[in-house]
Structure 1
Amino acid sequence: MTFSGSARCSGARQIPLRLSVGAFFLNSGLSKHGADEATAEGLQQFAATAYPFLGELDAQKFVRLLSAGEIAIAATLLLPFVPAAVAGIALTGFSLGTIGLYLRVPGMRQEGSLRPTEQGIALAKDVWMLGIGVNLIIEGMSENR
């Protein structure tokens, strides 16, 4: 986020988005750091339902990578010198992955619909993060013109 000239307004508009989503990702990443074996296995098995290649990783390694990824995304959002487009790309990529979970894991959606079930609400809300990520990309690209 630059705070000079016309970019000042768009940079200021990004602050609430970047702080709220960045804090969410930081908390999520730190919560997974040092997860016990049962938690690690549960998270890995859930992710492997949609993305089978993840089942080939050691569960603890998977959770360490997930934790580090979430903390890295938090950093891109929370550090003001990281360009909006870069933060947006990181957030959009992660959100697409979680939306893939929502679409592929049985029981997340009502049958024959995109509407979430009770269990699917936690993943369905990631569509908001996707929108925020795309918005940051667009704003970042327009700042650089």
Structure 2
Amino acid sequence: MKLGHIVDRLPERLATGAFILHSGLEKLKGDEETAKGMHGMASGTFPFLKNIEPTRFLRMLAIGEITVGSLLLVPVVPKPVAGAALTGFSAALLTVYARTPGMRQPGSIWPTQQGLGVSKDVWMLGIGSGLMLDSATDRTRR
């Protein structure tokens, strides 16, 4: 693997990966109240999650975030792999944003004050998509 392919998109990967990794590590320390809140919001969007106990859900979410963050931070992980993980993760967060009442202004995609924190995760969708598109365009240039 050439050095250019390793450092290409490294600033986005480091910033995003560190943020997500930190978030996952913090969730590992989450208490039962935090678990219930996160589980309630997620299971409202994804009903199949209702069958998972809240503290187990929070631990699974933490491990998922740690995994996505780590994939982004390790530069030798191929861009399409890191991009796909980040795109899937951010798409799930944005689905919560879109489906949770009170997060968006009525009849609009724009956030309410309550939804502002989650709506900002759109930047991760852009970075993940960019990593995958870069990979696709790299192949067509060869």
TM-score, normalisation: structure 1: 0.91
- In the alignment, structure 1 residue 119 sits paired with structure 2 residue 118: no
Aligned length: 140
Which of 35, 50, 55 is matched with 1:60 structurally?
55
Which SS does the other structure have where 1:107 is aligned? coil
Contact 2:21–2:65 (CA<8 Å) still a contact in 1?
yes
- In the alignment, structure 1 residue 35 sits paired with structure 2 residue 30: yes
Which of 61, 67, 76 is matched with 1:72 structurally?
67
Which segments of 5 or more consecutive residues in structure 1 lack a partner in the other structure? none
Where does residue 129 of structure 1 map in the other structure?
Answer: 124
Structure 1: 4+ residue segments shifted above 4 A: none
Where does residue 2 of structure 2 map in the other structure?
Answer: 3
Per-residue deviation, 1:106? 0.1
Per-residue deviation, 1:55? 1.4
Determine the C-alpha separation between the residues in 2 that align with 1:142 and 1:113.
Answer: 33
Which SS does the other structure have where 1:110 is aligned? coil
Contact 2:23–2:65 (CA<8 Å) still a contact in 1?
yes
Per-residue deviation, 1:11? 4.2
The letter of the residue matching 1:115 is: W
Give runs of aligned pairs for residues 9-48 of structure 1, distance below 5 A.
11-48=6-43
**CA deviation digits over 1:64-110, x for unaligned, max 9?**
10000000001110001100100000000011101100110000000
Which of 78, 84, 90 is matched with 1:89 structurally?
84
Determine the C-alpha separation between the residues in 2 that align with 1:12 and 1:80.
Answer: 7
Per-residue deviation, 1:133? 0.2
Determine the C-alpha separation between the residues in 1 that align with 2:102 and 2:60.
Answer: 26
Determine the C-alpha separation between the residues in 2 that align with 1:11 and 1:55.
Answer: 41
Per-residue deviation, 1:3? 3.0
Which SS does the other structure have where 1:119 is aligned? coil
Structural RMSD (CA):
1.3
Which segments of 5 or more consecutive residues in structure 2 lack a partner in the other structure? none
- In the alignment, structure 1 residue 51 sits paired with structure 2 residue 46: yes
Deviates more, 1:45-54 or 1:105-114: 45-54
